[in-house]
Amino acid sequence: MKDVPFGLKTTPLYPIFKEMGANFTEFGGYYMPVNFKEGIVYEHQAVRTKAGLFDVSHMGEIRIKGKEASDFLNYVSTNNIKKINDKQIQYHIFCLESGGVIDDMLVYKFNSEDLWLVCNASNQEVVYEHLNAVLKEKKFEAEIIDEGEEVAVISIQGPESLKMLSKVLGEIDLKYLTFTKLDNLIVSRSGYTGEDGFEVYGSTSEIYKLTVQLLDVGVVPAGLGARDTLRFEAGLPLFGHEITNFISPVEAGLNFAIDFEKEDFIGKGALLKIKAAQTKRVVGLVLLERGVARQGYPLYDGEEKIGYITSGFMIPGTKDTYANALINANYKNGSVVEIGIRNKRVKARIRSKRYLKK
């Protein structure tokens, strides 16, 4: 396609959103809609009050099958897949031996011998290679299948998501973090916005058709810009920001996804040491003066550098500007610190990193 920058891929839904006048950007090797004509604020508030539709076909899908699929996953991940039932979904984190993060993902458990990983687009190749390297070394009885090119995905998020999706697919009876098959589709009650929502996986033609139908019944199209502000407001981490190769899940406050009682998993020793030391943590900040904090901006206490910003936004529908930061752990909620924004210092108060009031 002449209008797509060289070297970037598009999803099957690109023609729909191109015709709607979406603005596109590069993300994870794909040319993705960042916002539509009404803008990020409109899309953000549509998801908070009604229902929005995101194209997430750029996400990676990797299948692990075999007799030891669950044992294999439990070795490479912090969480414990054996603690959930079939047709349930669990949040997982892959760590380096250092405790830093390779990627975070949702795992769909068809059964103990058939697991489906949905990982970040920018990390799909890294995750796939990591799994293969570990499998080759440890020789688990399992098979790894990259299914990323075969699947298209949309996410319908918001308080009216069930009503809107039911208009097209019929009655849906799913609890949060469970999934089912509906004809040729996989439908899960899950999302990345802090709202009720669903993610639907299927063939290119099936998802294209479903997208058109959902837009026709009034679901608002939304881009990556609103997806980022929504996850930030809900206190959800983004790889490359709140979790990185150098920020562990312990420091990011994700202990709920770490099963330290498992016999062993990659990074366990390092994470135990990080947990015991408690030297750094990811916190929320509300700016007390005018300014916008961007990733990488330094944090100060007087002349001492005590951390840096991981994400920062003026959240749509609020009057304040917020940020997340990795900071020395001895600074408690309520403490006032300073952010270095260009050539000045801006005061900010430490608080919870969940900004969504619900």
Number of domains observed in the structure of the chain: 3
Same domain, 181 and 124: no
Q: Among the three residues 148, 172, 201, which one is the final residue of a domain in this structure?
A: 148
Q: In this predicted structure, what is the pLDDT of residue 345? A: 98
pTM score, whole prediction: 0.96
Same domain, 53 and 158: yes
Percent of the chain with pLDDT over 70: 99
Which DSSP helix (H) or strand (E) runs through 90? strand 88-95
Same domain, 167 and 297: no
Q: Among the three residues 128, 148, 168, which one is the final residue of a domain in this structure?
A: 148
Same domain, 185 and 211: yes
- Is residue 2 pLDDT above 80, yes or no? no
Residue pair 213/219 in contact (Cβ under 8 Å)? The answer is no
Same domain, 136 and 178: no
Q: Is residue 251 part of a domain?
A: no
Q: What value does the mean pLDDT take over residues 162-175?
A: 98
Same domain, 210 and 176: yes
Diameter over CA atoms, the chain:
62
Q: Is residue 248 part of a domain?
A: no
Q: What is the CATH number of the domain that holds 311?
A: 2.40.30.110
Burial 144-175 (b: 16+ CB within 10 A, else e): bebebeebbbbbbbbebbbebbeebbeeeebe
Q: What is the CATH number of the domain that holds 46?
A: 3.30.1360.120
**Tens-digit pLDDT profile for residues 219-266:** 999 999 999 999 999 999 999 999 999 999 999 999 999 999 999 999
What mean pLDDT, rounded, does the chain reach? 97
Q: 150 falls in which pLDDT band (50, 70, 90)? A: confident
Q: Is residue 261 part of a domain?
A: no
Q: Helical H runs in the chain?
A: 14-19, 40-49, 69-76, 124-138, 161-169, 204-216, 224-233, 268-277
Same domain, 292 and 156: no
Q: Is residue 106 part of a domain?
A: yes
Q: Could you give phi then psi for residue 233, rounded to 5 degrees?
A: -60, -35
Alpha carbon distance 100, 249 (integer Å): 7
Alpha carbon distance 259, 7 (integer Å): 40
Answer with the residue of higher pLDDT: 319 or 190.
190
Instruction: For tokens 């949905």, name the residue.
Output: 118
**Tens-digit pLDDT profile for residues 335-351:** 999 999 999 999 999 99
Residue pair 33/17 in contact (Cβ under 8 Å)? The answer is yes
Same domain, 67 and 138: yes
Radius of gyration of the chain (CA): 21
Q: What is the CATH number of the domain that holds 140?
A: 3.30.70.1400
Q: 357 falls in which pLDDT band (50, 70, 90)? A: confident
**Of 1-15, 96-110, 150-164, 256-270, which gets the smallest average pLDDT?**
1-15
Q: Is residue 185 part of a domain?
A: yes
- Is residue 298 pLDDT above 80, yes or no? yes
Same domain, 72 and 49: no
Q: Is residue 245 part of a domain?
A: no
Strands 220-221 and 52-55: parallel
Q: In this predicted structure, what is the pLDDT of residue 1? A: 64
Same domain, 166 and 304: no
Q: Among the three residues 113, 148, 183, which one is the final residue of a domain in this structure?
A: 148
Same domain, 64 and 144: yes
- Is residue 148 pLDDT above 90, yes or no? no
Q: 358 falls in which pLDDT band (50, 70, 90)? A: confident
Q: In this predicted structure, what is the pLDDT of residue 129? A: 98
Q: Is residue 19 part of a domain?
A: yes
**Tens-digit pLDDT profile for residues 60-104:** 999 999 999 999 999 999 999 999 999 999 999 999 999 999 999
Q: In this predicted structure, what is the pLDDT of residue 112? A: 99
Q: Is residue 331 part of a domain?
A: yes
Same domain, 47 and 164: yes
Residue 334 lies in domain: 279-351
